[in-house]
Each structure stands twice: as C-alpha cells, then as structure tokens.
Structure 1
Amino acid sequence: MTAILQQPSLTPQSISTSDGAQIAYYTIGTGPGILVIPGALADAATYERFAQALADQFTVHLLERRGRPPSSPQGANYSMATECADVQAVLMATKTSLVVGHSYGGLIALEAARNNPHITKVAVYEPGVSIDGAISMKWMPAFEQLLEAGRPMDAFVRFSLATGPNRGRTLPPWLMKVMLQRFIPANEKQRMLRLLPECLCEHQEVARLDNHYQHYQEITAAVLLMYGGKTGSHWVDLAMQRLPTVLAHSATHAFPKLDHFGIDKNGPEEVAAVVSTFFTQEMLGRS
C-alpha cells in the first residue's frame, strides 16, 4: 500500500454489514464527508493523491471494496446490490452524503444514489455504464479460462485489449503484453493481477446492467459527470451523451488533457479541484 495508508492515523476503520462481512475504509482530512468508491482493479490506496488534494476542505473516506483486504471477499452471492448496501452502510457510519466514484466505482455510485435521499451529491469520473452493449463482454470466456489455467498476465492482456481505448484494440496480444509489463509499475501490476477474479465478477454486473441507465431518473442528487478528452473509448462517449438525458440534476465537465485514469494517476489534483467546487456549491444550495 502507498504511504497514506501506512500512517498510524490512517489505519483502517471497519464496519460490519448485515450479511456479516467486514468493510474497511480509510479517512483523511477535515470538513464535510466524501466517500470515494474505487474502480475495478483498484483499491483505496489507488486514490491517495486525489484524497490528499481534497483533505484541506473535506473529510475523505476511501472505501476498500469487497475483495480487497482487509475488507471481506466478494463472496458467492456478490452483486451490485451488495456493493450498494456496503456503500450505504459506510455512508451511515460516517454521516456522509457526498460520493465520488471512478469507472466501476462510478457505476456503483449511480446505482447507490437511486431513490436514496441520504446521497445529496455525486461526482463520477467515466462511470462504467454500458449502453447498447458499448462495454464489450466478449473477452470474458477466454479471460476466465486463462485465469483457471494460471495465466493471469495473458488474461489481463485480453481484458485490456477489449476494454481499453479504441486506438489500442487492434494491437497484437504479444505487443500489448510487452507494453503492460514495461509501463505499469511492478507494485501496481501485482495489485491488478491479484484483483482479476474480482474484476470478472464486477464486469458480469456491468453486463447485467447494460441499458439500465434510464433508471437513473430515480436519482434526486445532483450529479457531476466527468471524462477525459484523451480516453478515446466509445462507451465513455455514449455514456456522456445519454446520462444527462435521464438525470434530473446534472452537469458535465471534460478534462481535455486527461484519460480514463485522470482521477487516480494522470491528474488527480486537477479533478479534485473541480469536484471540490461542485461539492462546495452543493453546500451553498443546489439550483
């Protein structure tokens, strides 16, 4: 884990859920509470810089989702409902009403906000909302077979080719494998490979919720939709087009120089500044 989670004051706090699981979270900062929901292949530590950038104005709670120690495993009955129940439990425990989600974490945030008066404001960065099958799931059978065969790196290649930017999907698998091994830091790669089984279960939920976005008319919270101008993925473009048509209160913000990992790697401070402004405006009164 990175430094933020190694500080004595940031040892994990934990709550028990109704199904007997333990859900951990880490807290930093002072001010109104924000719950940050990590995406697939990510954990709480992934959002260290983002949390630090908000800590002067907000109390930031970094959720450690199921499947990421010290939280409990996903379990055989894992579903989006499980994720939403975990989010709600932490919101209640921390008296928090502001939520940030990234990618799959953004999908969780939107689902958790449906018919939920406890959530007053949601900021999502490229939420993993699949519309018209835009997030491909064709990779899943081969991915699962490779995991069972003890070839996690090859499974990761399959996933990256299928879900990454449009421009990279025509790369030969051997070249993608070389690039992933060369450009992803060793500790980050180790975390990603460890979370591949969880990633599969999470994307099964993405597939199940394909074209479910019209239910987001049930969200009364104000929603900030964020995306990176350099992401270059059809599913992101489609989500940014369709989501504002169903959300009662929404705004959209583009980061021209950032990609899908802007919130956690490429520009967390820039994203945090926009999120901070949006949440501060909410506290002054939403129009």
Structure 2
Amino acid sequence: MSSVDVTTVGRGPGLVVLPGATRRARHYGAMATALSEMYTVHVVERRGRGRSPAQDSSYCLDAEISDALEVLTETGSKQIFGHSYGGLIALHVALRTDLDRVIAYEPGVSIGNTMPRSWMPRYEQLLAEGKDARAMVHFLHTCEFMPGGALVTAMVWAMQRFAAEGRATRELLPTVVRELHEIYALDSDGSRYGAITAPVLLLGGGRSPAYIKQMLPLLVDVIPNAKLVVTPEFDHNAPDLGHPAAVADLIRA
C-alpha cells in the first residue's frame, strides 16, 4: 500500500492526479468523474492532508516525488496530472521515471524569480499570531488570486470558522509555507526541465496572475516535447473550482 491516501475512480489507463496548495483530493472529484470513462483516475491526498503523512520538519519536495512514484508503481499508471504545486511535483516525477504523458495546469515553477516571494514573511508572522483569516487574505491578495481589504478579510474569517470548507482550508495554511519555500529553493533558468522526455501538456488560464502567464512560455520553450494551451476564460483554479469538466476535456483531447 502507498504511504499516502489515494481516491480511485473510473476505468481504463491509469492517471495520477496531484492537488495544488491548500487543495485536498476531494476538490478534484468533478474532474476525476469527468475523466472516469476514459481513465482510472487516482487522486492523491498529498502530505499534510487527511490520512496521509504530516508535513514535518524534514518535509521537502523529494517526499512528494517519492509518494507520487509509489502511487504510479502501485497502480501501473503511466500518466500524471498536477495542478499548481502538484504540477511542480509532476514535472520532477517526469525527471525521475519514464511516463507516457505529463499534464500540468499552471505548475508552481519559478524561472528567474517569476514567483513572488515578498509576501511570505508577513504571512508567517500573521500565522504565528493566530490571525489566520488575515494571513489567508494576505496570501491570496498579494499573489493576485483575489482582492484584499477589510471586507474580504471579514468574509474569509467567517468562512474559516463557520463553513466546513473554510475550516478545512484553515488547517492547510501552514503547508503553504513549506511548499512555497520548496518552490523558491528550486528557482532557476528552467533548463533542468529540458531533461524531461515524456510529452508534456501545459495548461493555463487567461484570467490567471501575470507572473504565471509569464512563466508558462518560458517553461514550454525548455521542455523538448511540450505543448501549451491557454484558455482565456480559465483562472488558476479551473481544475478544482471553475471549469473541471472543461479541463478534463483538454486532458482527453
């Protein structure tokens, strides 16, 4: 049995799905269902979530890569999909093993410091002070995923305390620190991804932050067998919240 919890649905060739930051396996249920007639979809509950191992002081990207490799081997899957931080893991898995295909939706890759980092000290300070709602708004606002302001902070505060989904997200806020530090540590000119031999489908949204849209063409230029598809109406959360069925269509195409 794999070290991490895995949710499986469907029939056909195996496809392993790696969630993004602050995301759980269940957030990809609609996408997995849409893919289930063509693939056996194995959605990984990444570290720090549910029954999977915690992200302890020794946490690093290698642990996530090892987990994904374990699931690929155990299920016999040869394809992998990763969203955001999960996309970064998927690309590094492809550097370690032969795959039939990699699909990455706006992977958490920093090329030439494209990924913003000035927000992190304030985020860590707010978490240490127990100001979870302000920390979450600070993260989402400074990384251009949502507007800021007192009203938004109040809404997030209420969501975190009175809505089940908000409380679940609140529990994952410390994992953002560990995962983003891994992204920053891997900042480079992107040339390491030139060693990926599998076909790679890079997906993105026209409504996503500018730094993500800046990174994707840089990445597709260094991966030998890569294709980039940007859908104008998608944002960063298209696979899990906005357009899961449409993202599934792109994966099946």
TM-score by structure 2 length?
A: 0.94
Cα offset, 1:45, TM superposition: 0.4
Q: Which blocks of at least 5 consecutive residues in structure 2 are unaligned?
A: none
Please state if 1:210 is matched with 2:187: yes
Equivalent residues of 2:79, 2:100 under 8 A apart: yes
Q: SS of the counterpart of 1:70?
A: coil
1:78 pairs with 2:59? yes
Which among 116, 124, 142 is matched to residue 136 of structure 1? 116
8 Å Cα contact 1:115/1:218 also seen in 2? no
Matched to 1:275, the amino acid is I
Displacement, 1:76? Answer: 1.4
Instruction: Report the counterpart of residue 113 of structure 1 in structure 2.
Output: 94
Residue of structure 2 equivalent to 1:149: 129
Aligned to 1:100, what secondary structure does the other structure show?
strand
List, as ranges, runs of 4+ consecutive aligned residues in structure 1 with deviation greater than 2 Å. 178-188
What is the count of residue pairs matched by the alignment? 252
Q: CA deviation at 1:115?
A: 4.1
Inter-partner Cα distance in structure 2 for 1:235 and 1:114: 24
Residues of 2 paired with 1:189 and 1:257: CA distance? 25
Alpha-carbon distance, 1:179 to partner: 5.2
| C-alpha RMSD of the superposition | 1.8
The alpha-carbon deviation at position 258 of structure 1 amounts to 1.3
User: What SS class does the counterpart of residue 195 from structure 1 fall into?
Assistant: helix
Q: State the 1:182 CA deviation.
A: 7.4
Q: Which residue among 31, 35, 39 is the counterpart of 1:58? A: 39
CA contact (8 A) 1:217 1:246 kept: yes
- Cα drift, residue 164 of structure 1: 2.1
Corresponding residue SS for 1:259: coil
Q: Which amino acid aligns with 1:85?
A: S
Distance 2:116 2:227 in 1: 27
**Gaps (5+ residues) in structure 1?**
1-13, 16-21, 278-287
Tell me the CA shift for residue 145 of structure 1: 1.7
Aligned equivalents of 2:96, 2:43: Cα separation in 1: 23
Of residues 230, 243, 251 in structure 2, which corresponds to 1:254? Answer: 230
Q: CA deviation at 1:99?
A: 0.3
Rounded to whole Å, the distance in 2 between the matches of 1:113 and 1:78 is: 20
Q: How far apart, in 1, do the equivalents of 2:155 and 2:103 lie?
A: 31
Q: Using the TM superposition, give the Cα deviation of residue 254 of structure 1 relative to its aligned residue in structure 2, in angstroms.
A: 1.6
Among candidates 69, 82, 106, match of residue 126 of structure 1: 106
1:275 equivalenced with 2:248 (yes/no): no
1:93 partner SS: helix
Q: Give the direction of change, closer, same or farther, for the CA distance of 1:245–1:263 in structure 2 (3 Å limit).
A: same
TM-score, with length taken from structure 1:
0.83
Matches for 1:1-287 after TM superposition, within 5 Å: 14-15=1-2, 22-117=3-98, 119-165=99-145, 172-178=148-154, 180=156, 186-211=163-188, 213-231=190-208, 233-277=209-253
Q: The residue matched to 1:60 in structure 2 has which SS?
A: strand
Q: Deviations over 1:76-124 (max 9, x none)?
A: 111111111111011101111100000111111111111421x220011
SS at structure 2 position matched to 1:39 = coil
Aligned partner of 1:6 in structure 2 is: none
- Verify the 8 A CA contact 2:159 2:166 in the aligned structure 1: no
Taking every aligned residue pair, what percent have the same amino acid on both sides?
35
AA matched with 2:178: C
The letter of the residue matching 1:152 is D
Indicate conservation of the 8 Å contact 2:159/2:167, yes or no. no
Change (3 A) 1:227 1:70: same
Q: Is the 8 A contact 2:137 2:148 kept in 1?
A: no
SS in 2 for 1:75: coil
For residues 6 and 148 of structure 2, the distance between their equivalents in structure 1, rounded to whole angstroms, comes to 39
